[in-house]
Amino acid sequence: MSMMKKLFFILYPFALLSLTIFSYFFIDSNLTYLKDFYSGFAYKHRYSATFFYLLILLIFFTLYILLLKLISKKKIDFKDLRYLIFITIALLLFSYPAMLSFDIFNYISTSKVLFFYYENPYIIMPIEFAGDPLLSFTHASNKIALYGPSWILISAIPYFTGFGNFIVTLFSFKLFVSMFYLGTVFLIWKISKNLVYVSFFAFNPLVIIETLLSGHNDIVMMFFSLFSFYLLMKKKIIIPAFIFFIFSIFIKYSVIFLFPIFIYIILKTIRKQPIDWKNIFYFSFLLMAGAFILSPIREEIYPWYAIWFLPFISIVFQKRTLVYISVALSFGLLLRYVPFMLFGTHFGVTPFLKISVTLTPVFFVLIYVFLRDKLWLKIFSR
């Protein structure tokens, strides 16, 4: 085993464990279920918490780039990769999911409206159940269900496997989302048969943090949409593919941007015409990136929205400029948490800083790409 590989296999589990421990510094004081773990550190020592968060980000992105280099040089094989994916899921499964976002509490409270109170979550808000213990720490209790009926339906699985215990339910939701992360990684492997492509998605720090730590359901949506494409690509099964695609739309409606591509694939399949799948995934990336860019029309760009397009750019890894931009944007999006972490407010200078830190890494990558291309042009013009 090479020295770099040994170093990676030592540092990566340590980084995961550090992130898991660090996440518990962000426990809400109102979360009585975890009161024994409450320290208030992230709120009393904002500068220190921000510093440690930035340090963890830098470590993760450094290890991410190192991993991609090791795989491209064939220093890490399929067996190694399976082990790394396993420990990534295992060590982050028990991290505190509301370190950066409270969405997982919204998933639980919405499920409770339907499966405990037997009310319609598209009409009745969680806040209407006065005295419910979830209200003290659920940040969107004054809203009706924010997600489609597909998500409400399948959220019954982690809700009921929680057996009415909040802590068990919380980690049931995390495990549920983790399984779809694993499924998406498996689909990328089945489609690409390339370890670099798989690793580009599976170990992207944004994917890891927003999926395995925060437990966002965007990965569930992308699994079903990618699975529908896979069925058409490998099996040419139209009806099940159509069902899974519609199911993905009704998790979060942004997948509707892929509808023209999906119809195009079906028409080509029915006519038994050849399909350029590289172009299919490339244009799927562009459409979901477009959905991502347009998301501020509704509210704002959230970091986990990048999961909408990252599976597709992983499959068309040959588009190196877009790959570089995707990595830079992933880093910039995770930096969006820094202003609030530092100042404790969403107002004042925070919105400007969030935009600035998001775009700055992308700006530097674009400069690098421009200078690189200029240099090559000079070399070839001689």
Three-state SS string over 167-221 comes to: HHHHHHHHHHHHHHHHHHHHHHHHHHCCHHHHHHHHCCHHHHHHHHHCCCCHHHH
Please name the residue that has the structure tokens 């530097």.
364
Query: Which position has the higher pLDDT, 121 or 382?
Result: 121
For 286, the 3-state DSSP assignment is: helix
CA separation for the pair 289, 95 (Å, rounded): 29
State pLDDT tens for residues 237-279: 889 999 999 999 999 999 999 999 999 999 999 998 999 999 9
Overall average pLDDT of the 364-381 stretch: 68
Q: Which residue in 15, 136, 1, 108 sits closest to 64, CA to CA?
A: 15
Give the count of domains, the chain.
Answer: 1
Percent of all residues in the chain with a pLDDT value above 70, rounded to a whole number: 97
- pLDDT tens digits along 48-85: 999 999 999 999 999 999 999 999 999 999 999 999 99
Name the pLDDT band for 131 (thresholds 50, 70, 90): confident
- Residue-number span of the structural domain to which 77 is assigned: 3-381
Query: Which pLDDT score, from 0 to 100, does residue 373 have?
Result: 67
**pLDDT band at 372; cut points 50, 70, 90:** confident
**Do 147 and 164 meet the contact criterion of CB atoms below 8 Å apart?**
no
Identity of residue 340 = F
pLDDT per residue over 184-217, tens digit each?
999 999 999 999 999 999 999 999 999 999 999 9
Spell out a b/e string for 33-69, using b for 16 or more CB atoms within 10 Å of the CB, else e. ebeeebeebbeeeeeebbebbbebbebbbebbebbbe
Measured CA to CA, the distance from residue 162 to residue 158 in angstroms comes to 6
Contact between residue 244 and residue 54 where contact means Cβ atoms under 8 Å apart: no
User: Tokens at residue 337, please?
Assistant: 């948490």
Residue 55 phi/psi, 5° resolution?
A: -60, -45
Write the pLDDT tens digit of every residue in 78-95. Answer: 999 999 999 999 999 999
Angle between helices 320-335 and 46-72 (to 10 degrees): 160
